[in-house]
Chain A
Amino acid sequence: MTMANQAKHSIKKRYFRIIFSVFALIICSGTVFFIYIQNEQSSLSHKREVMENKADTINELASTLKEVFFRARGYTSLKSDNELKLLNVALLNLDGVLSTYSKLQLTAEEIQFNEQLSAFYVQYKSVILPTAIALVEADDYAGLRALSQKGSTQSVNDFLAYTKEFKQRADNALNVMDRDSIKQAANFTLIAFMFSIVILLFFTIMVWRILKSLIDPILRLEGATHSLAAGEGVLLDKLKKQDEIGRLYEAFHNMARSIQDKEEELMMQNEELHAQQDELQDQQSRLQHSLTEIESMMKALDHSAAVGILTHKGVFTYANENLSGYTKYKKSEIIGYTYRLFELSNFSSTDMQQIFHRLNTGGVWSNEVQLLAKDGTLLWLQLSIVPYLNDEGEIYQYILIANDITSMKSVQQELAETLKHTEQTKMMLELNNQLNHDISYTLDKQEFADKFLHFMNRFYAFDSSFFLLVKDKITAVKGIPQAKVDRYLENDNDDMLYRLQMEKTYKIKRQATQSEQGISAEDVYCYDFYTTVVNAENEILAVFCGSRIGHSFTGEEINEIEGMMNRAALAIERIFIYEEIEHGRMLNRDIVNNINEGIQFVHTDGTMLHVNKALCEIFNYYDWTEGTLIPKEKWKEHFIETSNESAELRLFYQKAMSEHTMDSSSMQYSIGTEYLKHIDVYAIPVYRRETRIGTLFVHRDITREYELDLMKSELVSTVSHELRTPLSSVLGFTELLLSRTMKPEKQLKYLETIHKEAKRLTDLINDFLDLQRMESGKQQYNSEHANLSEIVLGVMDQYKLSSTHQVLLVDEAHHSEVAVDKDKIIQVLTNLLSNAIKFSPDSHEVRVHLHNEADRVIVRIQDSGLGIPQDQIGQLFQKFGRIDNSASKRIGGTGLGLAISKEIIEKQQGTIGIDSVEGEGTTVWFSLPNLHAEENPQEDDLNKWGTDKDNKLNVMIVEDDYSLSLLLSEELKGKGFRVTHHYHPEQAFEQALKTPYVAIVVDLMLGEELDGWDLIRMLKDDSRTESIPIIISSALDPTDKDLMTVVQKYLTKPYPPGELSSTLTEIVKIRQGTGEVLFPGNH
């Protein structure tokens, strides 16, 4: 019930509602009454006012009329004008009163009266009065009387009478009205009184009802409380109310119920207590009963068992007959002695401690004990000791009860032994089984030998044993040092084998060795047992020997062991067969897996039985493991989708696997996108005893063959093209010469062209053949010791006369001894130099650079020519791999030079490479192994300059005899100088401007145009080079005296090379000492 509901149903609220409604009713009806009475009174007073007004008007009318007639009579009697005037005024007044009257609310009678009056007035005013006036004027009184006789006076009197009557009537009406209003007021008072009584009555009823609804349940509640107090059951209807009383009811109800519940519970507890009391009484009686029983039992116990009583200190105070009977001690011998009289042989002192502990804590101890009787026999007793406690919980005595179980015990022991025996037999059987299992499932010889020996040892308790598989020399050993076994295996064991051949089994009895003897004081004998495992052909497969110390072998055991050996024979043969099969299988697998071809064997139903490693690699398929079958859908789709020719491969598989296909078939397909793998696959149907069992597919990677084929055909096409171009020229110009007449100049030009082209053709053929020979490995290399510097200088010598290019050598190699085919290296150098010259048409210099790096000599040929696009450098070493553009085409060449060079260099343990920047130039380098790399560099004074590569001192040699040049440079290089070779004076001068030289060695006899003197002059005339020391090296005697002054040293050929180097050393020393170079001319 919600609070809102509670509030709605609350008594307070209801009471308040009733009071409020009654109050509202009284207010409402009072107001209505008041308004109604007010209304009635106002209408009554209004009516009264109207009535009074009317009466007043009638009164006025009567007085005015009287006035008129009074004045008229006055006038007629007095004939006074004043009276006439007043008459007129009275007439006017009458007129006003009449009009006022006519405006009032009038009844029909009154209207009529009004009309008559008005008509009379009009008549009087317009007719009678003028006539009367005229009559007065005329003093005709007769006339006047006649006139008044005519009725006018009568009507006036009637009118007056009427007014009088009317006044009286009006007064009466007013009186009636007053009476009515008083009566009405009385009525209202009555009604109000009645109404009040009704309201009071209603209120009383409501209050009474509320009280009733309140008091009734309270009364009932009172009754219930009384009945609850009286302890009777409270039966209260559920009140359907939700007000305060209802809630009180509910709370009371709950209270009553809980009180009742509690009461019931108490009752139950009470009953239980009663029951417990009964039970206690029952127990007591039973206790007494059992006490008597115990007494009788004690008697029985005394008869059947040994009983003793000990004090808490363990001294016997009582012993029955049985106790002395069992122990053979007399009673008197027991009583007064401690328990130590009986020794328990099956308990140690620690066990005893535990027993005491248990007893001291009040526990009963019971166990089987063995003790020694007085006569020395061993007794088995079932002994129980019960401690007795006094009220303080302290032990005051022990009771000891014992039964003789000696006979039972011996039976038990017998039984246990039988059981043990059975257990052993069972174990043996299990071992036997184990052996059977092991030897039938073991496929490894060593494992077999170990297991077999282990079994034998367990089964026959050998102290040491040895099992040898004769053929594989596999041994299993127990209790014998390995060294001994090895010695036996290495040395001839033929003696034993020979004897075993004759005698399948034999045994030896011998004196035990020291170790076998152990601690035994007496002599111990050992028994060795030898036996063999032989196959059906009586070949010895294995040998078994075992020793037992001190135990011989029974005939039964020997028979058993021989049986064992037969079983071993079967197992060993089986292992041999397995190994053979396994070996064959492994061999097959290795063959199949190591073959380059991918092999796939597919069953007739499409299942793949076998796939080898090579095929897995081809198809990137690694789902297969040996022994699993792969369903057709799994492998076939993968293979087909992997290949680029899916449709063809699908068709090929379908056809090859079809049962109707009897012949082998093949196809080619490719795999991959960027690097195509070309595969040739052939299928062979496989039959076993006339039945088709499947199809063998062999996939062969023919990418190399395919590419070679492609390359070969490309090469053929390129070669034919390369040959056809010069041939076209030769044939064409020849034909023109033959068919036309032309000027001799033109003929010469044609012939020159023909010659050039034919030469080109020859070169091409030669180069091509060279390369073919080299590549096929037929080229012979005559390796000899040579100086690479010398070779380079020699080749450079051939270019000395070149008009366009100057070849410059910078020689930094300390060691340039190499073992090469000199001619071939010359071919390479010539090739590279001519390339450098050809491909740098706008430059005039080619630089050759020699230096050592690790154990190699490196030659770099550097030009500043056209250069090579980065992406094409790689293809340069291929045949016809020259850069394919118009510029290079103009330059010409066979396109085989670099390929040949690479071949030559690589055949002589060298490497070759190209560095190039397009538009800036190209450097081709090659390196060859240096012969004297391991030699220490010469320790020399000047070597300190030579150690740092960048700080080497530069010396230029301008000499056109290359052998001399070489000689000098070897000497100078040995001293750590970097030597630059030049043979052209002008270019030497230009070089001198670029590089700081410590000195320049000049030969006087140089070219035809300029000689050494010219160079010296040029150098001395230029401010940039004038300070460089110059050494002249010449065959001539000094002639030009002028120039001699600027020359540092004049060496006349021939001179020992040491002279030049010592001169240079001197120069360097001077420079180092003073910081400047001294010249003779300066002195």
Chain B
Amino acid sequence: MDQMLDVLCSHDKHHKDGDGHSVAAVDHGSIASRPAKNQLHEAGSNGAPSSTLGKEMTAVNVGVDELLANAGYKVRASELQQVAQRLEHLETVLGAAQEAALSHLSTEAVHYNPSDLASWIECMLEELAPNFPVDSLPHLHSFDQSAQVSGCLMDDPQACGRQNQQSHQEDDAHSNIVDYSEEFILDYEETQYGSGFNDHNLNGIFGNICSLEQLGRKREAGMKQGFELNAQGMHQREQKRGKHSITQPCAYSGSSQEAYSQTSDNPVVFSSVYGSNQASLRPMGSCIHQPTLLQDGSDGAQESGVRLVHLLLACAESVQRDDLIAAEELVRDIRVLAAPQKGPMRRVATEFVEALARRIYSFNSQDTIGNQRDSLSELLHFHFYETCPYLKFAHFTANQAILEAFENQKQVHVIDFNLMHGLQWPALIQALALRPEGPPFLRITGIGPPQPGGNDVLQEIGVKLAQLAKSVNVEFDFRGVIAAKLDDVKPWMLQVSQGEAVAVNSIMQLHRLLYSENSATPPPIVEVLQSVKSLNPRIVTIVEHEAIHNSPIFLERFTEALHYYSTMFDSLEACNLPAQSLELMLAETYLGREICNIVACEGAERVERHEPLAQWQMRMCNSGFQPLHLGSNAFKQARMLLTLFSGEGYAVEETGGCLTLGWQSRPLLAASAWRC
């Protein structure tokens, strides 16, 4: 099946070349049997350069050691000697201090961005030998995204770990978490969302919500348990920043600017070279990610699964060619084949074939799925949140970063780009309540779409959050901002006060802002990011799908989405839901809407324009933001969260200071943090 993808990739290239060669029955033959003229090492068919070119750019412009880069480490070739010296020195220090030092590095220190070897080593030296004259060693380049991408002069935010002074959790501390607290139940009696909703407790938030009494007791005991969001790290990092600042002009200013402008039509290329360690090995183009589509199980099931994928791709290919007759026939075949199937493959196939049908029959655009923000979609969102760990991961990781950014701030203001049910905030409120320095005055501004029927849903959520805040003695204020689109929200509407620390939180919202009618009009994302900047936020937390679902070429988009959602559906299996259960069905329907939007819609209606982390990183850097790295503490807590809430197979990975959550080897969601 993936065999076929290769074939289709190359055929797509032919398609672009104006080659009228059609792909009828896909050749099941070997890769080797394709015509030799397919220059398959020209990865991708959307103009992305081959990996060779990518490597040239790496070598010439950035000067990193290529072999180390392939191994996931960025070290400038000119600095190998110095990095080696630092490693040696660290080894000596460790040798002298023995177990205490090792234990400290292992247990207490927070590590950041291990790909940037020079920085990582330097941070550990700082931890262990704070009196060591770092300045005596030559300044080493630190691989900050913004420095690479835009050639700007900047301080180098050495993201160094700092000793975590609280007692550290053991790896098997989940037993502590389970014991932790009585769950605080938010009651949604008056919701309009339909029956069944009323009974849902919002206690799925890591069980970390407790009554005031228990809170008081625990504070007295001076303990921190369970999923505490660690409030260390970022503040000290900022203090250190001055000490370590490397204000050397970006070494590649000339050439990198040039390179950037050359590729400005396809900035994807650039990021694939300079981006996260993962991206550097993936030329951006079609068929980037690999599915774990081949499943074990009975021969029959696997074989039909493969055949289904084959047919789906053939159908998409027919649609690409505008051969709607062939496409319709294939839709019928697929429906027939899919019906008796079991397992995630059947459900994925069903979602995709229905999306294809919609596209073929050009359903009335008012009917388009995915663009609605109605009560059904909110219900689906809630179930998806409850069912599988993706949204929990997103919320948790963002909260951790926000908490760190708010350290020692007395007035804080969180702006949530899509409040929904406010599921993210109880945990943050409670964590703020537990701060050693005491809680700040917290404001939350929740943005949400207008509701049919005119209910002020935002206000209702706000009231609940206020009740919670009151119960844990956090001074709190809530404002709702109703807006159909994020670009309708102007900075003045958010009423940011002087002196308050602002956090902007966007969970899967930014990709909706990427459409523009023509090249003359910039997409709304530009304005929104500028607005965000104007708020001067201490932190911007962003979570997005780790996927390439925004290719203008339908077939590419379809293929990528097929891989992505197959993996997603696969992962739902590990959520311990009984097959055919309501929860599973609702989670799948939630995803099905995204699929439908990606496959059946175009233009302004196609809002699910997912782009991968490397591209978001570039966009943020180019808009003047600097990365705030997520470290080993957030990583560890994310992993622990997963063991609590889901089966095995979910994988948290660290890449270039960001965290991804995925299924087995395929990242599906990426979380990053930024500042101005």
The judgment on whether A and B are partners is no
What is the interface of chain B, defined by CB distance below 8 A to chain A?
Answer: none
